[in-house]
Structure 1
Amino acid sequence: MTSPLPPVRVRIFVDFWNFQLSLNSMEAAAGRPSFQLDWNGVAGACCDTVNALIKPVSGVAYEGLHVYSSYTDGKAADMKHKNWVETWLDARPGVVATCVKRSQKKSPPKCPACHAEATNCVACGGDMRGMEEKGVDTRIVSDMMSLAWNGAYDVAVLVTADRDFIPVAQELQDRGIKVIHGKIGKSGMDLAKHCWVSFDLYAERTKFERKAKK
């Protein structure tokens, strides 16, 4: 007598700001305020969709939700966000959340006419180089690869619109691991082409939208 097949193990990898800002953009286009996320519903929405797309005999097993964010050091709102990621979000069941410090850009903006660099604002003298997110993409790729090599999942749901993840999606699928792209509307079409399949996570938003308190 043969034993039943094990469930398909699912891990979800979310680029926090890409996800949140894409949701906000969709809401703004519809004339609504920014999207209020209920993170307790994200994993369920993704796993329900994976189950419907793959239709495994033994169903799916949720193995974890990995969330990657960033912050600017010393900025009050960002420090509050960092604290929320590390103390609340990371404490959710099955969630591993990290918040990476942003770094200042090395190159200042250039004048579109003469291409001269403008390091400081002519009005206030402030530094115009701005901040950039470094390390988030690398952390996502590293975790996707290392967890795959350790046999920690069968299907990865990748929630981002960033085409920089095309190589890791291709590499994992060459090794027999399905990468499913969770896109928001029409964003991330280049990445979607290189994944096993993609689905519109925005269409499932009622499962992870925080309801206003009455």
Structure 2
Amino acid sequence: MSAGPASQHYRVRVFVDFWNYTLAMRDADAGFRTDWSLLGPAVSSAAASSVGSQVRHTYQGMSVHGSYDPSRDRKLLNWATTVLGGFAGVRVDFSPRRKRRGAPSCPRCHASVDRCPQCGSDMRGTEEKGVDVRMAIEMISLAMLGSYDIAVLVSSDRDFIPVAEFLSSRGITVIHAAFGSLGAELSQSCWTRIDLPHLRPSFERS
């Protein structure tokens, strides 16, 4: 969409796919530690600047969507709900992962084995279900309520392409906060992209 005149005041909201961001940042800089209280304002400011150098903007907050394994990620869930969710303007939505329906199989005979023959533990892994859908619903719902003008999407998942295209058709400027060439197709569906690894000094935890 057209971003409009540079004199316009924009309201910016940031939407983060937690695991997509976490794993991509780990690949970009294994030793980097994110200051989550700074991430939203930093990318919000960068997104507004990408629309126009003199653009005025208001940071409307950041939504972080993720998942956790109920059997072993209690510390992660506690951090997400009490620490991350305690930062000003941050909304957290973490949902439990579910056991995979299919069990791993032997590469030789292809027989499925759902329990370890030694200890009897469940060998099925867990999978993330519905996180991208919940995030997409929030992006669209808040847009329909007129809550923001610019959406900053922190994810490389191409499943968000229809969301970006829909929001653009409704007059919302969608900025892709990307990691290099990851999610190039998603970037093409957005107004523009900003490079997160380049911005990381602005939200690094000291």
Distance change (3 Å), C-alpha of 1:8 and 1:84: same
Gaps of 5+ in 2: 1-6
Q: What is the aligned counterpart of 2:11 among 9, 12, 21? A: 9
Gaps of 5+ in 1: none
Distance change (3 Å), C-alpha of 1:189 and 1:6: closer
| Aligned: 1:74 with 2:71 | yes
Once residues 208 and 57 of structure 1 are traced to their aligned partners in structure 2, the CA distance between those partners, rounded to angstroms, is 22
SS at match of 1:106: coil
Counterpart contact for 2:152–2:175, Cα < 8 Å: yes
| Alignment partner, residue 127 of structure 1 | 122
Once residues 42 and 111 of structure 2 are traced to their aligned partners in structure 1, the CA distance between those partners, rounded to angstroms, is 48
Q: What is the aligned counterpart of 1:117 among 112, 116, 139? A: 112
Q: What are the residue-to-residue correspondences of 1:110-189 with 2, within 5 Å?
A: 110-111=105-106, 115-189=110-184
Once residues 54 and 81 of structure 1 are traced to their aligned partners in structure 2, the CA distance between those partners, rounded to angstroms, is 35
SS at match of 1:119: coil
Q: Deviations over 1:143-201 (max 9, x none)?
A: 00100000001110000111111111111111111111101233222211211111211
Q: Deviations over 1:35-69 (max 9, x none)?
A: 21101211222122112211175511111100112
Once residues 171 and 53 of structure 2 are traced to their aligned partners in structure 1, the CA distance between those partners, rounded to angstroms, is 16
SS at match of 2:12: strand
Distance change (3 Å), C-alpha of 1:105 and 1:173: same
Tell me which amino acid in the other structure corresponds to 1:201.
Answer: L
Bigger drift between 110-119 and 61-70 goes to 110-119
**How big is the shift at 1:111?**
4.8
Query: How many corresponding residue pairs?
Result: 201
Bigger drift between 189-198 and 162-171 goes to 189-198
Counterpart contact for 1:7–1:56, Cα < 8 Å: no
Could you state the TM-score of these two structures normalised by the residue count of structure 1?
Answer: 0.85
SS at match of 2:142: helix
**How big is the shift at 1:116?**
4.3
Distance change (3 Å), C-alpha of 1:112 and 1:189: farther
Identical-residue share of aligned pairs (%): 43
Tell me which amino acid in the other structure corresponds to 1:89.
Answer: L
Bigger drift between 189-198 and 106-115 goes to 106-115
| Alignment partner, residue 43 of structure 1 | 40
SS at match of 2:22: helix
